[in-house]
Amino acid sequence: MIEGSSMVKLRANSRQYHRFFRLLDDLSAIRWTPTTKKTSKAQLMIEQIKEIRTGRNCESLRNKDFPAHYNEERIFSILYGDSYESLDLIAHSPEEASIWVTGLNALIGASKATPDAVEDRQTLREMWLKEMFEKASKNNSGGFIDQTTCIKLIKRLDSHVALVRVRQKLQEYDMGKTDGCRGRIDSQEFIDMFKEIATRPEIYFLLIRYANKDYLTLEDFHLFLEGEQGMAGLTTEKVIETIEKYEPAPEARKNRQMLIDGFTRYLMSEECDLFDPAHRTVCQDMGQPLVHYFVSTSHNTYLLEDQLKGPSSVDGYIRVLACGCRCVKVDVWDGQEEPLVYHGNTLTSKIPFREVIHAIATYAFDFSVYVL
């Protein structure tokens, strides 16, 4: 939403206008371009929004002149103001419409939260960040940290943050400072910077979808794990254990809540990898006949380079066996004194057969227990 989307803006007379809509960085308003209006007229404040409706569920969209070929899943309306005026939009895809509907509902819910509730949740996150900052600045007088320390601290708290964004924000901060204050970050600057850089909108909106607020209770997280992650039969104890493992804010852990940072850590952890960790080791039935399997095979194993005039070496066998190969090729030819291995009728170099079988005997089962 912050990056913006091209959508069709509908008017009451069924006229259509292609506009680029984006959510402002501070999440306070939606703005669209191009427009002949003043900037203040080509935007809609989030606090003005009353309701989001999907499909043709507004009076203006029920008009008989409205084009019938549009997929209703692409259509949504933003009702705003005391008179419930309607901003009717058509996204390029149902998925894009869903992102905007979910995100706007999340922002509406957050704007309607009581000041005390919002402050409490912000305090939990900020208390944790302030504590981390104070630990990093304990050896520095004046309660500052330098930019190198700031980068290391942010990376330690969120290993997935792009360092280029951190350095960019530090440069922006320095531009507004006098020479004597440049290169130093105070506690509030660090907190503001981390919240801006580490808060991923797509994860935030996912959290909001399950919690309808900007943190997950124990019950919310349990529902997410079962509904979204497919982890049926989870016990409450296991959910608590997961919160305690990933939620970094001590008070949130104590309250059995998961804030945005803990939720992000969980989603970016190995537990949420697409790759099944059980497959790091052999998990298939390996007791079937050999013909039931695909076999990792090496062709012309002894060749290190090309097929016509390259060198032959026992290193080729050692290397492929170390990679788990279970089938190697040995081209054996009569030599004057002993059998030789090489690519017949070519200019490749030759190696003694006895060296090849010695290497195979030595390394055959160092890296795999399966038949060779």
Point out the residues that are catalytic: 299, 343
Q: How far is CA 123 from CA 103, 107, 111, 128, 130, in A?
A: 23, 19, 17, 8, 10
In the numeric block, which tokens belong to residue 216?
């997950």
Q: What's the CA dihedral at 256, 259, 261, 263 to 10 degrees?
A: 70
Q: Give the pair of three-digit tokens for residue 91.
A: 């996204």
Of 371, 281, 365, 282, residue with least CA distance to 327 = 371
- Are 67 and 42 in contact by the 8 Å Cβ rule? The answer is no
When computed from its CA atoms, the radius of gyration of the chain, rounded to whole angstroms, is 31
- Sheet of 16-23: strands edge to edge? 43-45, 29-33, 16-23, 5-10, 85-90, 75-80, 49-54
- Rounded CA-CA distance 252/124 in Å is 7
